[in-house]
């Protein structure tokens, strides 16, 4: 989720600072030009290190970046190697931090992969080739593990997203990923899902995504207690009002005087606004939290809704604005009409269209809340990924409010 996108994406040059499994710094490799600009995507870095230097590395975390925001530019990572190799001297220092994730430490990815191998063995399966590192950043570590003609996917997330495995387990029977296993340390091992990621889905598929989401959400109406017991964050009216007020206060110096005044009035009016929203008849339920076409995977016949780590409890139409932001403009009204009909079928007499209209600035401000939560729970060197996002989403919220005045 990004509040602003650059029109041109600069290339990325990666420098790797090498450490052994005991944390000893070996030195750094010469810069590697890689084709993928996104900082968290590391498969191309691992491949470049193998092709150009003949060594296998595991990327642990971001150390520093020349640019003030992703993507592209000169980026330095810490990477683990099995044995020391010739390397250039590096003058920096690797220091401990209390918010550092286990998979960002030497030995952490190996422990995660060992767990995955044990889980696969419990299903009578075993890796048939070397696992492939796909991603490493403050929100996830992702590996693809070949098992014969297909793959298992290992995903490890921070504690504040660690309800993902419990959520997917509770959603068994719906079109969600099939789990080989999960644990309470943020690990999930997912069976391969046939098809493709659906960023470029056609209209019939987009409508199918909405139907799938609404069916899942409708099945959790009147089950908020179960969701709370699973550890999902609470975005119902009292909690979300408080969190929005907090992020507005904390980012006030980054906002203009006009934006601050607009958001001050918005925060003051939130309780009354929520009362009007709930008068439209849709109750709180499961919220996906990052529902856009790219988080669906499948074929023309069957789709699966992925990435439940951002899920929470709240009004179901909190998911609508992010989805509509990611679809072709010419499809928006058709999708909104379909969304309304789906909810009216599940909750007769409700007014989803009015609820969505009222909820739009709340849903936008919730994104600021989410990014502030990320910033509060990740170590300083990784905050560059999200540093500008809380204020960015609040600026967008203020602009939406001004437009609707």
Residues 368-395: tens digit of each pLDDT: 999 999 999 999 999 999 999 999 999 9
Half-sphere exposure of 327 (CA within 13 A, CB side): 26
> Do 144 and 128 meet the contact criterion of CB atoms below 8 Å apart?
no
pLDDT (mean) for 41-59: 97
Query: Of 38, 68, 95, at which residue does a domain stop?
Result: 95
pLDDT at res. 250: 98
Contact, 231 vs 326, CB < 8 A?
Answer: no
What band does 7 get if pLDDT is binned at 50, 70 and 90?
A: low
What CATH number does the domain containing 387 carry?
3.90.1200.10
What are the DSSP calls for 268-312, one per residue? HHHHHHHHHHHTTSPPPEEE-SS-SGGGEEE-SS-EEE--GGG-E
pLDDT of residue 300: 83
One domain for residues 60 and 157 = no
pLDDT of residue 10: 87
CB 142 within 8 A of CB 135: yes
What average pLDDT score do residues 10-23 get? 96
Asked whether residue 179 is assigned to any structural domain, the reply reads yes
Same domain? 47 vs 32: yes
- CATH number for the domain spanning 120: value is 3.30.200.20
- Same-domain check for residues 361 and 385: yes
Domain boundary among 171, 192, 213: 192
Q: How far is the CA of 379 from the CAs of 130, 138, 371, in angstroms?
A: 30, 8, 14
Identify the CATH number of the domain in which residue 52 sits: 3.10.20
Residue 160 belongs to some domain of the structure: yes
The answer for residues whose C-beta is within 8 angstroms of residue 377's C-beta and 6 or more apart is 99, 158, 159, 160
Position 1 in a domain: no
Asked if 293 and 375 sit in the same domain, the reply is yes
CA 122 to chain centre: 29
Residue 5 counted as domain residue: no
Q: Which class for 56: exposed (0-12), middle (13-18), buried (19 or more C-beta within 10 A)?
A: middle
* Dihedral sign, Cα of residue 225, residue 227, residue 231, residue 233: negative
- Summarised one tens digit per residue, pLDDT across range 176-210 is 999 999 999 999 999 999 999 999 999 999 999 99
Residues 185/170, Cβ–Cβ less than 8 Å: no
Assess whether 243 and 304 both reside in one domain: yes
Q: With 70 as the cut, is the pLDDT of residue 6 above it?
A: no
Q: What angle do CA 28, 22, 79 make, to 5 degrees?
A: 35
Q: pTM of the predicted model, to two decimals?
A: 0.94
Q: What is the pLDDT of residues 101-139, one digit of tens each?
A: 999 999 999 999 999 999 999 999 999 999 999 999 999
Q: How many separate domains does the chain show?
A: 3
Establish if 321 belongs to a structural domain.
yes
Q: Among 153, 174, 192, which residue terminates a domain?
A: 192
Is the backbone of residue 303 left (phi > 0), alpha (psi -120 to 50) or beta?
A: beta
Instruction: List the one residue out of 323, 318, 321 whose CA is nearest residue 293.
Output: 323
DSSP secondary structure of 191-241? E--SSEE-TT--HHHHHHHHHHHHHHHHTTTT-HHHHHHTT--B-SHHHHH
pLDDT at 139: 97
Burial environment of residue 391 by CB neighbours within 10 A (0 to 12, 13 to 18, 19 or more): buried
Is 2's pLDDT higher than 50? no
Q: Considering the domain boundaries, does residue 241 fall inside one?
A: yes
- Kindly state whether residues 133 and 165 are assigned to the same domain: yes
Of the candidates 396, 373, 397, which has an alpha carbon nearest to the alpha carbon of residue 158? 373
Q: Report DSSP letters for 60-109, one per residue.
A: EEEEEESSSSSSSEEEEEEEE-SS----B---------TT--GGGSTTHH
CA distance 203 to 197: 15
State whether 252 and 291 are in the same domain. Answer: yes
**Structural domain boundaries, residue 62:** 12-95
Per residue in 214-265, pLDDT (tens digit) is 999 999 999 999 999 999 999 999 999 999 999 999 999 999 999 999 999 9
| Helix, strand, or coil (residue 14) | strand
Same domain assignment for residues 204 and 59: no
């Amino acid at each position: 989720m990004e509040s602003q996108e650059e029109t041109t994406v600069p290339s990325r040059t990666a420098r790797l600072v090498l450490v052994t499994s005991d944390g000893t710094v070996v030195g750094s490799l010469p810069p590697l030009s890689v084709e993928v600009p996104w900082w968290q995507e590391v498969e191309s870095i691992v491949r470049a290190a193998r092709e150009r230097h003949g060594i296998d590395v595991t990327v642990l975390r971001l150390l520093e970046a020349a640019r003030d925001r992703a993507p592209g530019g000169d980026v330095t990572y810490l990477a683990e190697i099995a044995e020391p190799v010739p390397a250039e001297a590096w003058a920096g220092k690797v220091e401990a931090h209390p918010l550092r994730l286990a998979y960002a430490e030497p030995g952490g990815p190996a422990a995660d992969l060992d767990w995955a191998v044990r889980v696969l063995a419990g299903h009578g399966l075993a890796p048939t080739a070397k696992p492939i590192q796909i991603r490493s950043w403050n929100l996830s570590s992702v590996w693809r593990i070949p098992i014969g003609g297909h793959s298992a996917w290992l995903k490890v997330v921070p504690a504040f997203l660690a309800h993902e495995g419990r959520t997917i387990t509770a959603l068994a029977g719906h079109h969600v990923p099939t789990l080989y296993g999960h644990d309470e340390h943020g690990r999930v091992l997912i069976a391969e899902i046939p098809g493709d990621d659906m960023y470029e889905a056609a209209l019939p598929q987009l409508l199918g995504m909405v139907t799938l989401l609404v069916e899942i959400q409708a099945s959790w109406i009147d089950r908020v207690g179960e969701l709370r017991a699973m550890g999902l964050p609470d975005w119902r009216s009292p909690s979300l009002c408080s969190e929005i007020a907090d992020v507005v206060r904390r980012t006030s110096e980054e906002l203009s005087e006009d934006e601050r005044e607009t958001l001050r009035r918005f925060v003051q009016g939130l309780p009354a606004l929520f009362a009007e929203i709930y008068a439209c008849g849709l109750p709180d339920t499961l919220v996906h939290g990052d529902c856009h076409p790219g988080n669906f995977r499948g074929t023309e016949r069957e789709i699966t809704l992925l990435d439940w780590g951002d899920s929470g409890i709240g009004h179901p139409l909190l998911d609508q604005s992010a989805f509509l932001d990611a679809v072709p403009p010419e499809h928006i009204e058709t999708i909104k009409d379909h969304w309304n009909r789906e909810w009216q079928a599940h909750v007769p007499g409700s007014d989803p269209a009015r609820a969505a209209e009222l909820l739009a600035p709340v849903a936008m401000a919730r994104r600021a809340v989410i990014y502030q939560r990320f910033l509060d729970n990740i170590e300083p060197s990784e905050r560059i990924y999200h540093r500008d996002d809380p204020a960015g989403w609040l600026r967008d919220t203020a602009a939406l409010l001004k437009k609707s005045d």
